């Protein structure tokens, strides 16, 4: 009996939904509407702009990958620390802490640990080093860009050059993209600590 009543209720609610016009329905996050801001992460583009503007002053960039991976490439100014090292070493509380790994594999877990320890300003690099590679080092020129998009892309090109990257032609497939090169940030180190620290946003 109760099954039939619940079924009937579902039928009424489902049937009524058909009558709702599309304009009054919000789609889940994704294609429709602006992407909701993440309070726990910073986009690769924003991090690059922040480093170019202020250097790494007031910023602690933590690379959570292995030592060989770190030596092969790391975001300029980053320090390598494992999750266990972090718990012991502690971090300067006054700075903004940005954690990254290959592709947000272990960084969210470490983010949670640091938050639980009371660090107020901890962020994960959205998409990890993979996103850094695609968005900052090797941005791809999309075909048929609008004027706004062209201006945005010009800014991306500048950021890419700053970090020793190179843009990817619009026709190139992403999986044939040049991989992170060792040494591409070695000559960039002098460019850091060029100004006082500030906020990300």
Partner 1 sequence: MDLTAPFYQAGALGPRSGLFIAVLIGAAFGFFLERAGLGNGGKLASQFYLNDLTVFKVMFTAILTAMLGLFWLGQAGVLDVSLILLSPTYLIPQLVGGLLFGAGFVIGGYCPGTSCVAAASGKLDALAVFGGMMAGILLYGEVYPAIRPFAESTGMGRISFSQLLSVRPGVLVGIVTLLALGGFALAGRIEKSRGGRLVQPE
| Interaction site with partner 1 (CB under 8 A) | 7, 10-11, 13-15, 17-22, 24-33, 36, 39, 102-103, 105-106, 112, 115-116, 130, 175
| Nearest to partner 1 of 103, 149 (CB atom) | 103
Task: State the minimum distance, in angstroms, from the CB of residue 29 to partner 1.
Answer: 5
Least separation, in Å, of the C-beta of 162 and partner 1?
26
Is the Cβ–Cβ distance between 179 and 136 less than 8 Å?
Answer: no
The nearer residue to partner 1, 40 or 192, going by C-beta atoms, is 40
**Long-range contacts for 170-178 (Cβ within 8 Å, ≥24 apart)?**
170/140, 170/141, 170/142, 170/143, 172/140, 174/134, 174/140, 177/133, 177/134, 177/138, 178/138
Nearer to partner 1, 1 or 154 (CB): 1
Closest distance to partner 1 from the beta carbon of 17 (Å): 4
HEC readout, 39-101: CCEECHHHHHHHHHHHCCCCEEEEECCCHHHHHHCCCCCCEECCHHHHHHHCCCCCCEEEEEC
What is the C-alpha R_g of the chain?
22
User: What is the enclosing helix (H) or strand (E) of 129?
Assistant: helix 128-131
140 secondary structure, DSSP code: B
The CA distance from 7 to 17, in Å, is: 15
User: Is the CB of 34 or the CB of 196 nearer to partner 1?
Assistant: 34
Cβ at position 164, least distance to partner 1 in Å: 21
Please state the closest distance from residue 52 (CB atom) to partner 1, in A.
28
Which of 26, 146 has the CB closer to partner 1? 26
């Amino acid at each position: 009996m109760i099954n039939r009543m619940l079924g009937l209720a579902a039928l009424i609610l489902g049937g009524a939904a058909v009558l709702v016009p599309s304009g009054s329905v919000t789609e889940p996050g994704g294609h429709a509407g602006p992407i909701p801001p993440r309070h726990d992460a910073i986009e690769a583009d924003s991090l690059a702009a922040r480093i170019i503007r202020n250097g790494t002053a007031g910023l602690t960039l933590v690379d959570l990958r292995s030592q060989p991976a770190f030596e092969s490439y790391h975001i300029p100014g980053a320090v390598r620390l494992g999750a266990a090292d972090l718990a012991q070493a502690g971090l300067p509380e006054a700075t903004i802490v940005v954690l990254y790994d290959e592709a947000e594999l272990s960084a969210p877990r470490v983010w949670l640990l640091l938050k639980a320890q009371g660090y107020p300003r901890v962020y994960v690099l959205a998409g990890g080093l993979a996103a850094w590679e695609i968005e900052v080092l090797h941005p791809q020129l999309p075909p048929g860009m609008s004027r706004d998009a062209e201006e945005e892309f010009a800014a991306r090109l500048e950021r890419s050059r700053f970090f020793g990257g190179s843009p990817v032609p619009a026709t190139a497939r992403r999986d044939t993209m040049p991989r992170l090169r060792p040494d591409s940030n070695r000559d960039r180190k002098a460019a850091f600590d060029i100004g006082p620290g500030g906020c990300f946003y």
